[in-house]
Amino acid sequence: MELRHLRSFLVLCEELHFCKAAKLLNISQPPLSRQIRQLEGELGVQLFYRTKRIVQLTDVGRTFASEARQVIAQVDRAAGLVTQVKRGAVGQLTVGYTLPKANIIVSSLKAFAERCPDANILLRYLPGDGRGERMEFIRDGRIDIGFVGLHAEKTGLVVEPILREGFVVAMRKGHPLSNRTQVPVNALAPERCILYPRYWNPSEYDLLTGLCQRSGFAMNIAYEVENIHMRFELVGKGFGVSIARASAQGLHRNDVLFRPIKNSPKVETGIAYSSENRSQVLKLFIDTVRKKPWE
């Protein structure tokens, strides 16, 4: 049984007229008649009542038409999926993330979902202490693409910068520093600070503490908290202030305000992936991220 016979049969079911059906199929009437006879011969049943005046479906013809429509619809769906997979619109992608980069990741995922709604995205938290462990997940294929700091060890991977940003001070509403449009570094001298442990991001930790040292004081780190949400929770309850990348402002809270640090140093975020990964979904995702949908 050939698919073209089923398609011809279904067109004839709709038209109930051999000449009209043949015209829609872009064939002449004799080949259409042969196809229907071959189909009836294979099935061993009569699908149509035919006279010189009318063409009508038999009872078995109506039953077969219902099943044939489902078969053709499934075949068309499968062919469409193959086309989508070929261009990367369907497939699975594993994205590695860290909490401080949540805002740009969510914006990227939203833009990608609008572009490829049928792609399956797996989000995996990137563990490690910033000395290369995170990158191993990408090298060994457990993660297709990761959002990482550009200080990360890059051997064997492609790392593209996507965002360059400064730092902000997170503070509770009503804090005296909230009256400033920018916060000078030396204004942090009397503040109790809430920061992550150094092993969490050694290069950035040293950058921030060194910034304070060059301004003549040592940062008073009252709490070390790995999770950025918990840091902001403590900030909102008045335990102290915290320093974060500007993109962290996307982690909206009603009880926390953000003010940029005056003359803040800039840090970069990148995407890391293997050049050997041939996934079409990955290529489309990279293209989406390059458009910087968070801006």
Which pLDDT score is estimated for 127? 66
Q: How many whole angstroms separate alpha carbon 156 and alpha carbon 139? A: 7
**Identical fold, 92-163+268-290 and 167-265:** yes
Question: What is the CATH code for 3-87?
Answer: 1.10.10.10
Residue bearing tokens 């061993």: 44
The domain spans of the chain are 3-87, 92-163+268-290, 167-265
Which pLDDT score is estimated for 102? 75
CATH architecture of the domain 167-265 equals 3-Layer(aba) Sandwich (3.40)
Q: What is the pTM of this model?
A: 0.62
Q: Which residues of the chain are under the pLDDT cut of 50?
A: 130-131
Q: How many whole angstroms separate alpha carbon 86 and alpha carbon 281? A: 9
Cα dist. 20→36, 92, 144, 157, 246 in Å? 15, 44, 53, 60, 66
CA dihedral 77, 79, 80, 85 (to 10 degrees): 120
Query: Could you give the 3-state DSSP secondary structure of residue 271?
Result: strand
Which pLDDT score is estimated for 286? 94
What CATH fold (topology level) applies to the domain 92-163+268-290?
A: D-Maltodextrin-Binding Protein; domain 2 (3.40.190)
Which pLDDT score is estimated for 8? 87
